[in-house]
Structure 1
Amino acid sequence: MVELEKRYSIPHPSPGTIYPILTSLKKSGLIKSIGEGKRDKKLYSITEKGLKYLEEHKEELREALELVEKFKEFSNLGGRELAKVVKDILDSIDKLSEEQKEALAFEISEFTRRVRLILLGEIPRREKDVRD
């Protein structure tokens, strides 16, 4: 799980996410348990059936890995923080005053406008950093 986090810059996946996937892959015959590693961690190996499956689905795998790389880059640009802010907004939306909602709507509109300009190749003038 640590390797997934390092390699793909994804948050540390929980055992509750990973182990059901491993169990499903094992039941399907795509991987097999090959013993125990350090600190009683299970080790898995891909089977011949698993290799054949990967070969048959290599285009989908390539596309999935490209998407993972894009998410990694997005995360490095602040995407993880952006996702946290969106979650904070969703958690707080029903507690905001109308004035707060209006201010939030304005900021979201400005943010999306500026991002679209950047994506079009126009670099908008940066406002003085609030921290300055």
Structure 2
Amino acid sequence: MAGEHTIVFANDTGEFWTDERCYITELHNCAASPETSLALARVEAGVTTQLHSLAGVIERYIVRQGEGTLEVNGIKQKLVAGDQAVIPAGAPQRIENTGSVDLEFYCLCTPRFFPEAYVNLEQ
């Protein structure tokens, strides 16, 4: 006997601006799949996102376009299209778009991202 399955229908939220100083498109984040979420982040040229951490959530960046400098726990690393980074839960993080085009990257979170996990470290 096969297991249960769930269909998640497209939503109409589209891309939205965040206080983190980037645009987000939620691709997959629902109660039916609490173990993971997937979003597309877009950071404009010359912008550095807000220093923050995610409490209890491991985040993976998968760079789709552009280039930037990722800072995690005070350590900086250059990233370009195709690069990936695993950011431990609770680690201070931010990314700077160092290129001339929008920096786009997938954000894969486990467990799924929820707003209460976001900790602004610039306050």
Give the TM interval when normalised to the shorter protein: under 0.3
Q: Which has the higher strand share?
A: 2
Q: Which has the higher contact order (CA 8 A, sep 6+)?
A: 2
| Larger of the two Rg values belongs to structure | 1
The TM-score normalised by the length of structure 1 is: 0.22
The TM-score normalised by the length of structure 2 is: 0.23
